[in-house]
Amino acid sequence: MIVIENLAQHYANGLEIKFKNWELAAGEQCLLLGNSGSGKTTLMHILSGILAPTQGKVSIKEVDIYALSAKELDKFRGQNIGLVFQRPHLIKSLTIAENLFLAQSLAQLPKDAKRVEEVLNALAIADKGNNYPSQLSEGQLQRVSIARAVLNKPTLLIADEPTASLDDENAQSVLNLLQQQSKIYGATLLVATHDKRVKEAFTNTYLLA
Amino acid sequence: MTALYISFKSIKAKKLSAALSVLLVGFGTTIFTVLMLASTQIENKLSSNAKNIDLVVGAKGSPLQLILSSVYHIDFPTGNIPLKAANELANNPFVKRATPLALGDNYQGIRIVGTDSNFVAMYELKLQKGKFAGQKMEATLGAEVAKGKGLKIGDTFFGAHGLSDSKDPHKDHPYQVVGILAPQGNVCDQLILTSLASVWSSHGDEPHSHSETEEQDITSLLIQYRSPMSVAMFPQMVNQMTNLQSASPAVESTRLFALVGVGVETLQYFALLMMGIAALSVFVNLYNSLKEKKYDLAIMRTLGASKSKLFLIVWFEGVILTFVGAIIGIATGHLALQIIGHYQESEQAKLTGLVFEFGELYLLLASMAIGFLASLIPAWQAYKSNISNILAKN
């Protein structure tokens, strides 16, 4: 369960954004909507544990994440939060399999080759394990980045415009994969997007004023 | 997956700029290695050659020349001195041992040294085979000479006038090899020893019936003092009371090093400059790739990497580059010196790349310290990067 309470962020230019309180059940799938400047990215970063809010509390699995020490938060983030971005952003100097092992290692989890194989299989990119990112298409890379996000069976899966740079076919498959993977692991899925192709697939929305 | 592995893979992904950094570090280290090895080897060689010699007495001229010709067997002798005057000095109470030298002949570039048993005692020479030359026209060869010229006991050869060419051989006075010295690790390995009489007879000034020593000349006298007190008294006495000159190997070597030292120092500054450029290249390399990589690093943070982990990943990259560069540099330095030694004309100061100096460890540490420092700023940048800002600018 994810809970935000009294959350507000002050910006350097004096602007302040207040976020309404929100509770998300485990396994819930939700769309995050809002115009640019409405604080969408800010909220996502706060929920991802990479931007401390000036005020308020974020609890994930009953852990007040900004009460953790920096190192504990890093570890918590690695083990409980999966992120998918508009672009795949894999480490170019590492192979696909190494990119996934990296996600295990940085989250301080033991190396689990079976789990990596399982995820690659589920996302139909099992044969690409030993390739470097430059050898894959954009659609394939985005699938790898989903594989990386769900690898550690996160509590919260956050996707920021995951389909914006993909064609219809790939966009549909990425969306399906996100929904399907979050269902399998009972992860709460939160998708921020402007993409009309995505909006229809969700019933729950959180609208930023 | 360790930070070291990630750094290593990152270097592998941009081979060209990594190679440039390694090359620059390696070049700087090579110069330092060559300078260090060459100067210690030359210094060791010079001091071992002059080990028991406190003073050299010879004809007036340049004292440095006198030392170079009589102790190191490099330069031409200053001229001759009368044996009679030399004998008087040899019997002086300040003198423990005086070794006469008669130079002026060579065999295929190897110097033939006319001397007596004092030479053997002074250099503490040991034989490998045969005996020391005693009779006229007998010769004892240095270890390297026997090997290099393929001479063995019983062989004969002709000396030639001068110190380096064989244009003017003394055809009617063949030398016979009677002994070969064990390797001494100093200039004696490169000499042919014979008696004073052999040198005189080659030059046709055989002692005549009237006075034995009156007309004999030698080149110089190597003197060992009886007591440290002699240092103050004896050289002055020689310079004032006789028309000979005295020169101290210690003083002249120091003077020589002061002259050559300027060149070595210049090269050292050059090498220092190279290391500076190398450090800059490592810095620029990391700093530039940081711009490309900051998104990668931010992603690693979202995957759970701590700030210190990012610091290590960037820092190790610089450390690996300088370490590899330094190792390659030291190896190349040794190789270069071995090659220089192989083509060196002067056999007396031959350099070798097969010897390691303790100082090289410091050189390695110093190069690595430079790498540590050069990568510190990029690593710090990675440490304090604001991931939320980087990700928001997507």
Q: Is B156 on the interface with A (CB under 8 A)?
A: no
Look at B304 and A102 and tell me if their CB atoms are within 8 Å.
no
B2, B9, B387 ranked by CB distance to A93: nearest: B9
Q: How far apart are CA B46 and CA B260, in angstroms?
A: 14
Q: Per-residue pLDDT averaged across A94-122, rounded? A: 92
E strand segments, chain A: 2-10, 16-18, 22-24, 29-33, 55-60, 63-64, 81-84, 156-160, 188-192, 204-207
pLDDT of residue B114: 93
Mark yes or no for CB contact B296/A91 under 8 Å: yes
Residue B346, burial from CB neighbour count under 10 angstroms (0-12, 13-18, 19+): exposed
- Put simply, the answer to whether A79 touches B300 (Cβ < 8 Å) is no
- Across the interface, do B296 and A50 touch by the CB < 8 Å criterion? no
Cβ neighbours of B393 in A, within 8 Å: none
Collect all residues of chain B within an 8 Å Cβ-Cβ radius of residue A101.
1
> Tokens 């530039």 label which residue?
B288
According to DSSP H, which parts of A52-159 are helical? 70-80, 96-106, 113-122, 138-150
What is residue B283's three-state secondary structure? helix
**What's chain B's average pLDDT?**
86
Considering its fold, how many domains does chain A have in total? 1
At B211, the pLDDT band (50, 70, 90 cuts) reads very low
Contact criterion met (CB < 8 Å) for B299 and A89:
yes
User: Taking Cα atoms as reference points, which of B51, B64, B60, B39 lies closest to residue B253?
Assistant: B64
Q: Are strands A188-192 and A156-160 parallel, antiparallel or unpaired?
A: parallel
Question: With an 8 Å Cβ cutoff, are A89 and B295 in contact?
Answer: yes
Domain that holds residue A35: 2-207
Residue A49's closest chain B neighbor by CA? B302
Q: Which of A51, A75, A89 sits opposite B388 (nearest CB)?
A: A51
- For residues B191, B196, B201, B206, the Cα torsion angle rounded to the nearest 10 degrees is 170
CB A78 within 8 A of CB A129: no
Would you place residue B209 in the very low, low, confident or very high pLDDT band (cuts 50, 70, 90)?
Answer: very low
Among A122-136, A192-206, B65-79, B121-135, the minimum mean pLDDT is found in: A192-206
- For position B205, what pLDDT does the model report? 57
Give contacts of B6 with chain A, Cβ < 8 Å. 91, 93-94, 102
Give mean pLDDT, residues B52-81. Answer: 89
What is the pLDDT, as a whole number, of residue B275?
86
pLDDT value at residue B348: 60
Please compute the mean of the pLDDT values over residues A108-132 and round it to a whole number.
90
CATH code at A130? 3.40.50.300
Q: Do A50 and B301 touch (CB under 8 A)?
A: yes
What letter does residue A14 receive in the DSSP assignment? Answer: S
Distance from the Cα of A163 to chain B's closest Cα (Å) equals 14
ipTM of the complex: 0.90
Contact B304 A70 (CB under 8 A): no
Residues in chain B closer than 8 A to A93 (CB atoms): 6, 9-10, 12-14
Q: Does A148 score more than 60 pLDDT?
A: yes
- High-pLDDT (> 90) share of chain B, %: 28
Contacts of B391 in chain A (CB under 8 A): 45, 50, 85
pLDDT tens digit sequence for B313-330: 999 998 999 999 999 999
Tell me, yes or no, if the pTM score tops 0.90: no
Q: For B304, which of A45, A74, A91 is closest by C-beta distance?
A: A74
Q: State pLDDT tens for residues B72-130.
A: 888 888 889 998 888 888 898 889 999 999 998 888 888 999 999 999 999 889 999 88
pLDDT digits (tens, 9 = 90+) for B167-198: 777 777 889 999 999 988 788 888 999 999 88
- Give the gap in angstroms from C-alpha A201 to the nearest C-alpha of chain B: 25
pLDDT at B349: 64
